A and B are shown apart, each in its own frame.
Chain A
Amino acid sequence: MGTMAIYLDHAATTPLRPEVLEGYTEALRVVGNPSSIHAHGQTAKRMLEEARERVAAALGCDPVEVIFTSGGTEAINTAIKGMFWARVAAGAPPRVLLPGGEHHATLDTVAWLAAHEGAEVLELPVDGRAALPPDVLDGALAGGAALVTALWASNEVGTVQPVAELAAVAARHGIPMHADAVAALGQVPVDFRSSGLAALSVSAHKIGGPVGIGALVLGRRAIAEPLVHGGGQQRGIRSGTQDVAGAVAFGIAATLAAEELAATGAELAELRDRLIAGVLGSVPGAVLRGAEPGPNRLPGNAHFTFAGCDGDSLLFLLDMEGFSVSTGPACTAGVSELSHVLLAMGVPVEEARGALRFTLGAGSTAADVDALLQVLPGVVTRARRAGHSDRVPQLH
């Protein structure tokens, strides 16, 4: 428990890198609004734009295409709502296409568009690994749409979408596509230019940067209405005084993540495979969910269902044993909800109840994995005894 606990929830957030902390705190000491004309303002502006260039280089886009936001959720909201409004104003049908099993930042945004802006939301069926087959998208696009949006990689089950193929299909129909690459960044190559996407959302704290800064990459030919109005900063898409220190920190983290991608990806994949083999070999009833280990799966993600268990029992028991893991997406009220991702993949409810996600990252070691494998079989046995929370109680 406490500081000695082993952290296996890097997909929720991952430690701030020391290099980032250093650059961040140094930048925080600098006074100056990048919109000011004087010397202080110019220094701040230079730091901001250098950071924007770093992020652009890491993401394979032009600096002018990088719009800093408060994080992934704001970037996703800006992309989806902004592109929807602009496209519909330009005559596109008010329709949004997305695969099943998206993140809540997308789901709740399109639900809002449906409720308040007359959007027609078309959720496309994903396969058993949570991937959207390009021909399914192709078939659904015949009627046109304002935009297509999809996860680049699933934050929950780690499946990497065939983003470039999907974007090519959308482009063939003349429809822009946005990808939520928050979970993908730092784990698999994310290159905006070659992806064919119109827009892309990322967040710094998933790659060793601080919480509170993210970016929307909005292609120079993409059109979007702003959510936030004001001083007209960042192409008028995102007004508001820009967070220089946050951008600097994100720039450092993005550069390091891009430089180390190949090496860390291979290391994480090796650890992950050790974890997967260990779990499947020692825990009866464990099923790996999402794509097979390989290029279509995030190297740090291992996601299982344990039949007959409730995820919250597993999480509780592992927490007591000193392991921080997740049942799926983080949730404000602390309730583990049944994973809509697993349900979209066709996993039966009874099995989806016992979901557990282990995500590896900076600092994860083989010793961590082995320690987990020591306690997991016992934990699953005990959680199985407690069963599902809807079982009929005998004590009454």
Chain B
Amino acid sequence: MAAARAVEAGHDVVGVHLALSRMPGTLRTGSRGCCTIEDSMDARRAADVLGIPFYVWDFSERFKLDVVDDFVAEYAAGRTPNPCMRCNERIKFAALLEKALDLGFDAVCTGHYASIVLDADGNRELHRASDEAKDQSYVLGVLTTEQLAHAMFPLGATPSKAVVRAEAAERGLAVAAKPDSHDICFISDGDTRGWLAERVELAPGDILDADGTTLGRHEGAQAYTVGQRRGLRIGTPAPDGRPRFVLEVRPVTNQIVVGPKEALAVAEIAGRRLSWAGCLPLDPAAPFSCSVQIRAHSDPEPATALLRDGELVVTPDAPLTGVAPGQTAVIYLGTRVLGQCTIDRTVSAAPARV
């Protein structure tokens, strides 16, 4: 649909499907775990309907290095990565965009629900889509000024995804009936823990509570994420009988720390791997009001942020829960994406936490 809009706007459009996964050791392309041949065929048929040429470009090597290996390394380090952000940052708007520019294209156009808005001076800003429920600006938060300069999101202005689907059906595009893509594309069966177990050396270790008491055993610290409740299998219930959550993953000592939900509350998040999406309308060295979003489908929370010694420090007005190092904190000014950082550290809101 994004391609259809671009064609209608008078652009010279070429459809490109990204081949991102190859089973190692096989010559055939039929065994890809994500981006199935069916997806590729549907994209091709859509291109046929639009009357535009269509190609499959193979970025599987780059994808493995920049997305899959990064995902494994982050989990091995006890963090919770967001591979979709990495893919946008390193593949779609880096490897693909660079190749496209070198081959004579001007921009990469995708179906993300987000809007590019020009300010008074003609500078590009990234904004939430008009339909906030389906807004995807969060996963584009990693884009830099230079990347935004060559990005097009024609679906961002549509009032809702339903309208786009209806329009696609009207045009005879088969994708209209397909379920939305979700989860992690390279883990085809959705079993992230099982997939990781084949790639990260997992060993049984201790489950501790916040004061260091051993409560039980786990199958490998790296298979847990902060905020996780299920799969802990602790024999003895908490004294107050309430569920326990993972508070911390310690890959070095192979321990996980659990505790009550309140102990997940985070008063501050910070990270050094950061980027700005366009020109800054303010001086980030001074504290400024913004909102922060830490997951694709979570709500933005009012916060204060500042850039301090190369680190983006964000203090939400009210403590956040379920924040894990490795996640991306995207900060907004109203509907505008201002920038983001990968969370390196968090400061707990519960003073007693170890």
User: What residues make up the interface of A, taking CB atoms closer than 8 Å to B?
Assistant: 1, 104, 107-108, 312-313, 316-317, 319-320, 331-337, 340, 382-383, 385-387, 389-391, 393-396
Contact = CB atoms under 8 A, between A and B. Distances in A.
Contacts of A104: 27-28
B89 interface: yes
B29 to A, nearest CB: 4
Contacts of B269: none
Given A312-B55, A333-B40, A334-B44, A389 B99 contact: yes
Nearest to B32: A333
Given A335-B56, A393-B97, 9 more contacts: A316-B103, A333-B56, A385-B102, A386-B99, A390-B61, A395-B93, A395-B97, A396-B142, A396-B144
A1 B95 contact: no
Given A393-B90, A396-B89, A332 B147 contact: no
Interface string B42-72: 0010000000011111110110010000000
Contacts of B37: 332-333
Contact of B58 (A316, A335, A382): A335
10 contacts: A312-B58, A320-B104, A334-B55, A337-B27, A340-B27, A389-B95, A390-B62, A391-B95, A395-B97, A395-B144
Contacts of A337: 27, 29, 58
Nearest to A331: B29
B57 A312 contact: yes
B53 A1 contact: yes
Interface of B: 17, 19, 27-30, 32, 37, 40, 44, 53-59, 61-62, 65, 89-90, 93-95, 97-99, 102-104, 142, 144, 146-147
A166 B157 CA distance: 67
B162 to A, nearest CB: 31
A393 to B, nearest CB: 4
A17 B59 CA distance: 40
A334 B56 contact: yes
A267 to B, nearest CB: 32
Contacts, number: 88
Contacts of A316: 55, 103
Contacts of A331: 29
A321 to B, nearest CB: 11
Contacts of A382: 102-104
Nearest to B64: A390
Given A390-B62, A393-B95, A333 B29 contact: yes
A335 B99 CA distance: 16
A385 B98 CA distance: 10
A322 to B, nearest CB: 12
B95 to A, nearest CB: 5
A334 B27 contact: no
A394 B55 contact: no
A362 B60 CA distance: 37
Nearest to B146: A395
Which has the most chain A C-beta neighbours within 10 Å: B54, B90, B95, B146?
A: B95
Nearest to A107: B27
Contacts of A313: 99, 103
A320 B65 CA distance: 31
Given A332-B29, A394-B98, A395-B97, A383 B103 contact: yes
Contacts of A395: 93-94, 97-98, 144, 146-147
Nearest to A390: B61
Those 5 A-B pairs whose CB atoms lie nearest each other, nearest first: A393-B94, A386-B102, A334-B56, A390-B61, A333-B29
A242 to B, nearest CB: 31
Contact of A386 (B27, B55, B103, B147): B103
